[in-house]
Amino acid sequence: MRRLVLASSNPGKLREFRQMLAPLGIEVVPQSELGIADGDEPHGTFVENALAKARHASHRSGLPAFADDSGICVSALGGAPGVQSARYAGAPAGGREDQDRRNNEKLITELRDKPDRRAHYTCVIVLVRDAGDPEPLIAEGRWHGEVVAAPRGASGFGYDPHFLLPELGRTAAELMPDEKNAISHRGQAMQRLVEMLRHAEYRAS
C-alpha cells in the first residue's frame, strides 16, 4: 500500500497525516486532488462518520482510502461539540480560519459561566482497502486537557489555541508540529494505525 486517499479537504489534517505516514513511504493524496467532494457525515458517532467518509472516497477513487472523524468533547457541555465540532457555529461559511474563529467564539461563550473546563479531543481513523472492505482498520486516540478563554499560539488549527495542556503549561497551538504529532489525539490514533500497516498483509496490499 503505497498510495492512500485522504477523505478530507482540511489542510491541517493533510499536513499532519503526510508527516506521520512519510516514514512508511506512503503517499497521501487528498480527495480534492481527484475531484472527489466531501462525503456526508450524518451519524452520531465518530467511528460511523469516519467509516462513511473512507468508503465514499475509496468508491470514488478506486483506491485505498482513510478518514478520520475527530472533535473536542467538553465535560461541562455534556460532551459537546463532539461530532459537531467542525460545524459547531453552524454550516461552514467563508474559509477554514473564519469557521474556526466562529466555532471557538461559540465554545467560549457557552463556557462563560461554567467553572469546569475539562475537555478532551477524540480522534477515530478508519482505513479501507476498497469501498466494500469488510475488515476496515480502526484506530482511536484521546487527548486530555482543558479549555482556556484566551487563545494562545499560532500553530495547529481548530480549537487548538484554546486547548490547554496543564502538564505542559501550553496550548496545542503552542506546540511544534513534531511535538504535537507525538502526543495528540490524532497522533495517538495514527501511531496505532501505523502499527497495523506494518503487518505484511497491509504492506502488500
Predicted confidence (pLDDT) per residue in 149-203, tens digit: 999 999 888 999 999 999 999 999 999 988 998 899 998 999 999 888 887 455 5
**Which residues are designated catalytic?**
69
Question: Residue 157: what pLDDT?
Answer: 87
Can you tell me the distance from the alpha carbon of 129 to that of 133, in angstroms, rounded to the nearest whole number? 6
Residue 49 pLDDT > 80, yes or no? yes
Q: Are strands 27-30 and 170-171 parallel, antiparallel or unpaired?
A: unpaired
Question: Residue 204: what pLDDT?
Answer: 43
What percent helix, strand, coil does the chain show, rounded to 5? 45, 20, 35
Question: Residue 20: what pLDDT?
Answer: 81
Q: Among 53, 41, 51, 115, which residue's Cα sits nearest to residue 83?
A: 41
| Arithmetic mean of pLDDT, 37-65 | 93
Residue 94 pLDDT > 80, yes or no? no
pLDDT digit string, tens, across residues 116-134: 999 999 999 999 999 999 9
Mean pLDDT estimate for the chain = 91
Bridge partners, residue 170, by sequence = 165
In sequence order, which ranges of 125-165 are alpha helices (DSSP H)? none
| Arithmetic mean of pLDDT, 77-101 | 89
Give, in words, the CATH class of 3-203: alpha beta
Contact 165, 159 (CB under 8 A): no
